[in-house]
Amino acid sequence: MDTIDFLFGVFLSQIILVSYYFPKILVERTENAIEQHPPSEYANLYPVSVETIKKQILKYRNANFLMMILGIFIFVFSIAIGADELLGWDSQSVSSFYFMLQMAPLIWVAIISTNYAKLLRKLNQGPSRKAQLSPRKLTDFIGKNYLYALAIGHITYIVLIWYLVQHPFDGFAGYINLLGLAIIDLILAGGIYYYVYFQKPDPLQPEQVRIRDTRRTVYLFVLSGMAVLIKLSVDLILSALDMRDYQDIVSCIYFQLIVASIVYYYRLSEIDFEVYRKG
C-alpha cells in the first residue's frame, strides 16, 4: 500500500470515529442516563428541564453530522483530483485544522457540562457532605511510577533536541522546541493543580467518588503529557529521517487516540445516582 493510500485510510477512520462513532457513544450514554433516572424520581439531578438537555443533545448530533459531511467532502475531493496530499495542499495542515473543527462540538459540550455542574451544585447546596480534612498531595491521586515515566520522557526529549541541534535537518527550529513543550507543561500542570486543590465537586457525591473523579482527571492530564511527548518526539525523528509523509499518518492516528481517551474518561455508569433520588 502506498503512503498516500494509507493516509487516506487513516483520515477516513478519523472522520468516522471522531465525528460519528465516538459522538454516538457519548449521546447514547447520556440518553440512557436520562431514561434510567427520570426527573420524577431523581429531581435533584435536573437543574434544567429534560427538554433543554435533549435540545442540546440534538445540537451536538447535528454539529457532528456537519463535521462528518465536511470530512467526507475532503476525502472524496482529494481522491477525485488524484492528489497526493489532502485537498491537493498540505495533508498535516488539513487534517489538523479539520480535527480542530471536529473537536468544536466536544468543546462546546464541555462548556455546557461545566455550567450544568455549577447549576447542579447550586441546586444541592443544602445536604452537602463534609470534605476530607487531610491535606492533598499529587501522589495521593497518581502513582509515582507515572510521574517517573513522565520525567524520563522529558529527559529523553531534551536529549533528542540536543542531538538534533548537533545534527540539524531543514526546518528544524532548535531549542525553540523546548519552549513549545514548556507551554504545554504549564497548561497541563495548571489543570492538575486546579482539579486537585480548587475544583468544587458535587456536594451530594460521597468523598470516595470525589477522590476517584479527581484521580481519573489527574491521570488523564499526565497521560496527555506523555502522549504529547511521544507525538513531538516521533515528529522530530520522522523529519530527521526525511520521512515526513508518515508524520501525516501518525497525526491522524494521534487525533483519534485523543478522542478515544476522552470517551473512555466520560463514563456516567460510575456516578452514584442514588444521591439525587427525590426524597
77-84 contact pairs (CB < 8 A, 24+):
78/8, 79/8, 84/4
Which of these, 22, 42, 18, 15, lies nearest to 265 by C-alpha position?
A: 22
pLDDT of 85 reads 82
pLDDT of 133 reads 43
| Whole-angstrom distance, CA of residue 58 vs CA of residue 21 | 16
Q: What does residue 185 show for φ and ψ, rounded to 5 degrees?
A: -60, -40
Domain spans of the chain, in order of start: 3-124+136-276
Residue 156 cell numbers, joined: 529523553
| Whole-angstrom distance, CA of residue 168 vs CA of residue 194 | 39
Query: What pTM, to 2 d.p., does this model score?
Result: 0.75
Instruction: Classify 52 as helix, strand or coil.
Output: helix
* pLDDT tens profile 171-218: 788 888 898 889 889 988 888 888 787 766 666 666 666 677 778 788
Residue 9 cell numbers, joined: 485510510
Q: Is the pLDDT of residue 100 over 60?
A: yes
Q: Is the pLDDT of residue 269 over 60?
A: yes
**Which has more pLDDT, 25 or 214?**
25
